[in-house]
Structure formats: structure tokens, C-alpha cells
Structure 1
Amino acid sequence: MVTINDIARLAGVAKSTVSRYLNGGSVSAKTKEKLDRIIAETEYTPNAFAQSLKSKKPSMIGIIIPRLNSYATNEILSSIDEELRNKQYQLLITNTNQDIGREIENINTLSRQKVAGIIILATVITPAHMKAIRSSGLPVIFLGQKARDSYSIVHDEVEAGRSIGQHAIDLGHKKILYVTVFEDDVAVGQLRKKGVLDILTEHKDIEVKVITSDFNYQKAYEQALSYLPKSDATYCICATDNIALAVYKAALTLGKKVPSDISISGFGGYDITNLVTPSITTVKYHYKEMGRIAVENMIRLIDGEEVLKCITLGNEFLPKESTAKL
């Protein structure tokens, strides 16, 4: 691996001269031409992280994610990475495995590592989060959860919930099972559920039972094996596509047919919902657009410009084969 010392030796100049050149400092035209040629020949790549620590304006953006095995997270990350590269910034990713304590710890760690700003895909937002953010002095943008005293980009969860609830009504279902997640997750556990239940409870002849499940596919599958045999619901609305896939598998394991015995739908618009047969009804969320806007707003905040405190993105209802009329 070629180092800055190798470049200096080949060019016959001091290491400080190479460093100054790499960081945009002033060097003679002759030296610049020589360094351009040597770097091209050796295919030397500067360490962006080290450069950002040395420069007055950091070129690293930190991002905190809740888990690695998430379609939504991967879609957002790929969009953010592409946008940042186009703007000459690098991405530093930290994973918390849905541990709130690690989220706080990572905010402090990224602050010490001199990143220019932090993007957080938070499951929850606590006073401890906000305290760490204030201490960092950095621009911070939350994705997916609305923060009262910080910047946020969120999905229209209530409208998404209402669209699925209305779909169940239009298909004539009277007994509905709603599989949610813990309520500390305001976006999914509260607002998404509110959208579903608000529209269903407008109809007195509809019976709704709420079950709390887990984001994890295997855990959601095992839970579904337990509650599905006890339910007479003809439609199961799942809080995420991941849960919908778990319920789908559990239903098949129990000998139920989808959608003739039970209709199933989710939220997210994951690609895999099109790969199973029958394909799964869902609400598509615009994750890549969220990533694009996050980068755009972060750069503006770093440059001292004003941005909206909260941006709400719409979604798209996608009826497919897993739901049917009674």
C-alpha cells in the first residue's frame, strides 16, 4: 500500500509538501506537476478521514444506524453515500443494534472524531439524545423520527396507516388483526398505528385486535406461530414489510392460504414483497429521496444556511396479490 511517505520519497520533496498539496495548499507548478504524475502512476488514494481531522473544515459526515439487517436502512445509506461522494464528503457509519445507550455513546464518539455533522436513523429520541446533541455543537438531522428541538425528515405515517386501513374496509373485512411494535418508536409504534386504527374504528361493525411484535424477522415469525391459531381475523395488517413476511411464512406453516384464508399487508415497499407469491400489499416509502434530502440539508447546515426544521415525505399505496375481497 502506497503511503504519503512513499510519494514524498519518489518526488524528492518533504512529507509536509505532499501533505500541503493534498490539502489544497500552495506548491510550485513544477512540484504540482511532479506530484500529479506520481500519484497517478502509483494510484495513491489519500486517507479522507485523516485529512478531515487535519483540515479546518472536516469532510466526514457521521451516520448512526439502528441495525444492519434492514432494507430501509440500506436504501437510505446507499443514497446518502452516493450524494456525499458527489459533494466531496466521506461517510462514517456506526451501528447501535437498537441499543439506545450506544446511540448516545456514538453521538459523543462522532463528535470527538471531528465530523462535520451527524445523521441519525433513530428508533426513539430521548432527553439523553438531545443533551448529547447540544454538547456536540454539531448540526444533526434525525431520519424517520420527529425531534422537537432538532432537524428531522419523516414519512407521513398517519396517511400510510389510513391507506391500508381503507383498503381493508374496501375489501369488506370485518375482523382485523393489527401487528404493531413497541410504542417508544413513535413513528411506527404510534403514528402508523394511529392511522390504521383511526379509520377502522370509524366503522362500528369492524373488530380490531392489536398484537405487539418485534422488528426482527425470526422473532416475529415465532410470535405469529403463537397468535395466528387463536385468531379468527381475515386480514392481518403488519407494521412493517419484515413483519408481514414473517406472518406470511407463519400462515403457510400453519396451513393457511394467502389471501383466501387470510389477507396480509405491510409497510415499507421492500423489493422482496414482489419476490414472494402471492406478492405482498404494502405502502412504499421513499427512502432514497429521504437520503438525498438529508445530505442536501446537512451541507446547507454546515454552510450556515437555513433549512426547514421538519420535512414530511409522502408515500405510495401498492395493492398486490396478498389481499383480497372476502
Structure 2
Amino acid sequence: MVTLKDVAEAAGVSISTASRALRGKAVAPKTRARVEKVAQQLGFSPNVLAQGLATQKTRTLGLLVPDITNPVFSDIAFGLESYLRDEDYTLILCNTDDRSDRERAYLRMLLSRRVDGIVMASSAADSSDTCSRTELLCNASCPVVLVNCEPITGLHAMLVNAERAAYLATEHLAKQGRKHIVSLQGSDAFWFSRIRLNGYTKALSDYGLAGSETTLVGCFRREAAAKAFGELIDSRESIDGIICDNDLMAIGVLQEAKRRGIGIPDDVAVVGSGNTSLCELVEPALSSVGYDNVILGKEVGRLIIDIAESDRPPFVISYEPTLTARASSTASGDSEPSETDQLQGGDL
């Protein structure tokens, strides 16, 4: 078996120089080219496991998401993986399916593999197990970054301003003249949903619509949202606006409305959350409030590597959402002027 020492001797450099050259570190371009050429000629393949034992780094990170079929999380994963790939890190993707037992099992697996960091974009709704999850995260032997999860003291967090997102969606419908706006909420067991509810109720109050406050609690799936919307329509005739916790739920509403012959947006205006690529693929095009999740994923990657390679104190970064109005909530589908996305951060 060809070793790093063999490559170094053949290239006429020290072992440390050969190692740096093959890892893309600071060496002269001509030296790097010579070492890479020799390594290729000899068929040398670095022993990642041995390197990890020597450096106490695996160059591996873990990502937990609740539903990889939701474009919000697949976009975050795409952005994160693409950034990590350029930095010579590997990503382990864990889909928890919104189950606390899977969440715990994946966390233990990642810690046993000695990953260099964990990105937590999943927050299972089983409140009885919250303490166990928090204990695992706080006692982790590697940095943890929470993404759109309830902040935990001592841990890093990147959060969309969920309250602002719901406020923007509700405000948009109020400005369209909607008087009976309903929030279709995924689950009140999730911190994210509870924060969104605050923005929704505040907007209703600001626009004198507090009396129309109604919230349905279901789950975050398209089919469940369609069923909940149907039941709501059967029980009330005054609804003229719906905001949803995510775009999949909003698409379920659009599909049920079409099945029942309900005009969108003439009878009921609909706004989703996430502003994913699905918004342009449905008819009518879906209005949504959100942020660029691919960019968010890349930013998470940059930050967690920085944390893993340094001793950065815990921080919370708020990512501000914007509204994109389309045909599901406006007759013309013209977008309203929106705020510019911005990152605002601070140490805990």
C-alpha cells in the first residue's frame, strides 16, 4: 500500500509538506502540483480515518431535519452540503420524520461517530422528551447550531424571524381587504408555530381584525392541511383569507379549494411560508413569506466550521423574511415592495 511517506519521497518534499499540499493548505503552487501528480501516479488515497485519529477531527458534520421532502429543509441541506463540499467536509443527513425517538437516536449516532459539529433543524413535537433532547445537545462533545428551533442557552442558533413572517403574511391579506383571516397552524407543540401565532394575532389587532382570530391545529403535511381547510369551510362561511405555517400546507389548501370550486383568490386568498420553488409550480402561483434557504444553508456551513475550528462564544442570528405576493392572494399577482433580507446577530 502506498503511504504518504512514499509520496513525499517521490516528490522530494517533507511528509508534512506533502500532507498540506494534498489537503489544499498553504504551499507553493508548483509544489502542490508536483505532489498531486506524484500521488496520482502512485495511486495514493489518503487514509481519512487515520487522519482523524491524528488530528482528533473527522471533517464530518451532521444535519437533522424533520421532513426532507419539505423544500425548506432540502434547500437548507443543499446549501449546507455544497458549502461543506468546497471546504472538504462531509455531511451526514438525518431525517427524523418529526419523531423524537428518531431524533434522539440520530443524535447519539452522530456523537458516537465523533462528528465535528451538528446542525439541528429538527424539533420533534413530543414535549415529554424535551429535557432529554436538550441534555443531549448541551452535553454534546462538538458544536451545535440550532436552525429555526427554540433557542437553548449556551448553544448557537440561526432563526428566521417567525413572528415577523406571520405578521407580514397577515398584514398583506389585511391590505387586500380581507376581513376574516385564519391561521392554519401546523402544531402548537412546536416553538416555531407558537411564535408565528404571535405575529398573526398582532397583525390582526393592528388592522382592527382581532375579532376574526381563528387558528386550526393539525400537522405540517399537505394532505392534513387540505382536510383541515375543508372542515373549516364546512363549519364557517365567512373565511376570506388563510395563512399557513409552510408552503406544503398552503398547496393543500389550494388543492382542496379547487376540488370544492372555491375561487382563489376571489373567494379565499392564501399565503404560505418558506417561499420555496413550489410556489411557482402551482396554479395559481402561491404567495409566500420566507427567505433564501440555500443561502441560509451555506451561511450555517460557514458558521459551524468557524465554530468547530475556533472557540467562538454562543450567538443567536435572526434572519429577516420577505413577502412575495403572487396570484393566490392578489388579482394581478404583482409583488408588493419588500424589505431586503438581512442577517442580524449577537452573542448570548
TM-score range, shorter-chain basis? 0.7 to 0.9
Q: Is the 8 A contact 2:180 2:209 kept in 1?
A: no
Q: Deviations over 1:142-168 (max 9, x none)?
A: 111132221110001111111111112
Matches within 5 A, 1:47-126: 48=48, 51-52=51-52, 55-124=55-124, 126=130
Match 1:183 to one of 182, 185, 188 = 188
Q: Is the 8 A contact 2:181 2:213 kept in 1?
A: yes
Q: Check 1:170–1:112 CA distance in 2 against 1; reply closer, same or farther (3 A cut).
A: same
**Which residue is equivalent to 1:17?**
none
Q: Is the 8 A contact 1:23 1:51 kept in 2?
A: no
**Which residue is equivalent to 1:141?**
145
Q: Check 1:23–1:72 CA distance in 2 against 1; reply closer, same or farther (3 A cut).
A: farther
**Which residue is equivalent to 2:302?**
296
Query: TM-score, structure 2 length as denominator?
Result: 0.78
Q: How far apart are the structure 2 equivalents of 1:251 and 1:241? A: 15
- Output the amino acid matched with 2:80: I
Match 1:317 to one of 323, 330, 346 = 323
Matches within 5 A, 1:1-326: 5=1, 24=19, 36=36, 40=40, 48=48, 51-52=51-52, 55-124=55-124, 126-149=130-153, 150-187=155-192, 189-202=193-206, 203-204=208-209, 206-232=211-237, 233-324=239-330
Q: Check 1:175–1:42 CA distance in 2 against 1; reply closer, same or farther (3 A cut).
A: farther
- Output the amino acid matched with 1:212: V
- Output the amino acid matched with 1:24: S
Q: Is the 8 A contact 2:187 2:218 kept in 1?
A: yes
- Where 1:266 maps in the other structure, the secondary structure is strand
Greater displacement, 58-67 / 219-228: 219-228
Q: How far apart are the structure 2 equivalents of 1:258 and 1:211? A: 20
Q: Deviations over 1:8-60 (max 9, x none)?
A: 7xx89xxxxxxx8999399xxxxx99985575369776575675456432211
- Output the amino acid matched with 1:128: S
- Quote how far apart the aligned CAs of 1:319 are: 1.1
- Where 1:320 maps in the other structure, the secondary structure is coil
- Output the amino acid matched with 1:182: S
Q: Is the 8 A contact 2:170 2:181 kept in 1?
A: no
Greater displacement, 118-127 / 212-221: 118-127
Q: How far apart are the structure 2 equivalents of 1:256 and 1:186? A: 32
Show structure 2 runs of 5+ residues with no match. 8-14, 22-31, 332-348
Alignment length (residue pairs): 306
Q: Is the 8 A contact 1:285 1:316 kept in 2?
A: yes
Q: How far apart are the structure 1 equivalents of 2:53 and 2:260? A: 56
- Quote how far apart the aligned CAs of 1:69 are: 0.7
Greater displacement, 57-66 / 239-248: 57-66
Q: Check 1:261–1:34 CA distance in 2 against 1; reply closer, same or farther (3 A cut).
A: closer
**Which residue is equivalent to 1:29?**
none
- Where 1:264 maps in the other structure, the secondary structure is strand
- Output the amino acid matched with 2:242: C
Show structure 1 runs of 5+ residues with no match. 13-19, 27-31
Q: How far apart are the structure 1 equivalents of 2:241 and 2:17? A: 61
Query: TM-score, structure 1 length as denominator?
Result: 0.83
- Output the amino acid matched with 1:173: R
